[in-house]
Chain A
Amino acid sequence: MVISTQGLTFTFGHQTVVKSLALQVPEGSIYGFLGPNGAGKTTTIKLLLNLLQTQEGSIHIFDKELKSNRISILSQIGSLIEQPAIYLHLTGRENLLNRALLLEIPATRVDEMLTLVHLTNAAHKKAGQYSLGMKQRLGIALAMLSDPKLLILDEPTNGLDPNGIIEVRELLIKLVKEHNKTVFISSHLLAEVERMATHVGIINNGELLFQGSIDDLAALSQPLVQIETENTVDAANFLTRNNFTVAEINEHHLYVPFTTKQQMGELNTLLNQNGYTIYSINKQQKDLEKLFLDITQNA
């Protein structure tokens, strides 16, 4: 495991922000750390970087205890926390050069990074004049400057346009696949990480509600039979009278939990024979976005 925490608990005053967290982030994964705003994501990340002192529980990164191996662990982590930390009076390139100076990295690597995040043309512009997306890209370049084994990114696509989001996503996938890096990425939007994450942890009110591979998450979702008919309300009432459970209903569709193909056939026949014209009927997987909402709202 690249990151492994046990019973990690953190309290601000009387408020417990992180409750007994047990994260397991395997090597070579893109771990999507999901949760609504204020769920405790940033606090967890600050604990992982030793910016907040661990009060209860333990943190191991690269199988080493964090506090007693702080410097050797931090030298292999690149991070971006909340808004990128950028000196606005320096140019983009100077920001990178300053970090390169601190990390003893040659200046050639700075120019590589600028090319990678498409900031070569704006390299000599003051970072204060950058757009939000450019700042975010500079922040990502700063995180990747030392070629770290583990990238910890807190909402890295904040403020990026759709193209930027896709670029970041592809970059991260490439890093993991070709360079065997591990990426720990937080987000409040499942859709954002759904297409790249191999593993997912869902946190709400400081508690880890789900952790596992993205397939495990998909398996949790119960498929539904989606029926399109003219009068959905009447059809739903009719089905309820015939001992079917109706999960959801709207103007155009009604949904019944899927059990077997035979059940789907029965539904079809029953409705047709009783004068309800069916325009379409099909099996549907609940999308992950909805599942995410269910998990975080039911807690």
Chain B
Amino acid sequence: MKGFILSFRSEFYKTRKTMGFWSAVLLPLLLCLLLFVGFFSKSDELAKAPGMMLWLQFAGAILAVMGSLLLPMLIVFIAYSVNSIEHKADTWKTLFSLPISKLSVFAAKYFYAFFLVFLCLTLFVLFTVGFGNLLGVLKPALKFSDYNAAGILAQLYFKLFLSSLGILSIQFLMSLLFRDFLKPMGIGFVLTITGVILAGNNWKYAYAFPYSHPMLALQALKQDMHKGDTMPKITVEMLTKDTWISLAIALIVFVGGYLIVLKKSVK
């Protein structure tokens, strides 16, 4: 366990000045800031909307692209950046000749990638809620304060996180095995498009395909919204079939990846 913690801390130390780390921070900040400016300048048109609709529009603008494009591409990039740092510096041989078990080294890297995605999604929640409330303060005509979206957003983003773990683990393994960016990126892109098409067309077995999971995570929310009349009650069903599949894939790929690392010769 000590080896894992040391390795995890070292992962942070190594990446804290890289784009891989900062993309997880800057992406939510910039997108939310952009949205904030947009809403601020259009505030007159939006003044009539009730608080809940405002939040839905505000958060929905990002969520609309999150499942189909933003999250999968972010995952591709994070999985790549965590591994490429060793490919570039030629440091796999050093990592695996440290007096630390190979499991700890591998697990630390794997969970550090999870951590970066988690950090990014957490920041999306914080910035969305933060900028929304800031809009409400700066433009009192916008009734952001009528509705508290923090709870539902946190749940939704947490579900997105869980549903992203399957993709993340697959992309992680590809980035570990392939030195170049194009292979994991290209394969990841094709699979993401496939996933979006499958989920978008409500294919019966889309739940089994990890690259469809972020889309499915958001669809669960939509269906709930249409139940009510004017003011639907929004709920998030946390553990759906697709989420379980995502978690199972993450577990299987973790074990498989570790076995590969154990057998693999280090260049």
Contacts and interface: CB of A to CB of B under 8 A. Distances in A.
B89 A51 contact: no
Contacts of A75: 99
A77 B98 CA distance: 9
Given A83-B90, A90-B17, A52 B266 contact: yes
Nearest to A142: B94
B14 A53 contact: no
Interface residues on B, range: 20 to 34
Contact of A85 (B6, B17, B90): B90
Contacts of A53: 263, 265
- Secondary structure of the A contact surface, majority rule: loop
Given A49-B97, A87-B91, A90-B14, A101 B9 contact: yes
A39 B30 CA distance: 54
Contacts of A94: 13
A101 B97 contact: no
B89 A97 contact: no
Interface string B119-138: 00000000000000000000
A142 B94 CA distance: 10
Contacts, number: 66
Which of B6, B7, B89, B94 has the most A CB atoms < 10 Å from its CB? B94
Interface residues on A, range: 20 to 34
A101 B16 CA distance: 15
A81 interface: yes
Contact of B89 (A79, A86, A101): A86
18 contacts: A49-B97, A51-B93, A51-B266, A53-B263, A75-B99, A79-B94, A81-B97, A85-B89, A85-B93, A87-B85, A87-B89, A94-B13, A98-B13, A101-B13, A102-B6, A102-B100, A103-B98, A104-B6
Interface of B: 6-7, 9-10, 13-14, 17-18, 85, 88-91, 93-94, 96-101, 263, 265-266
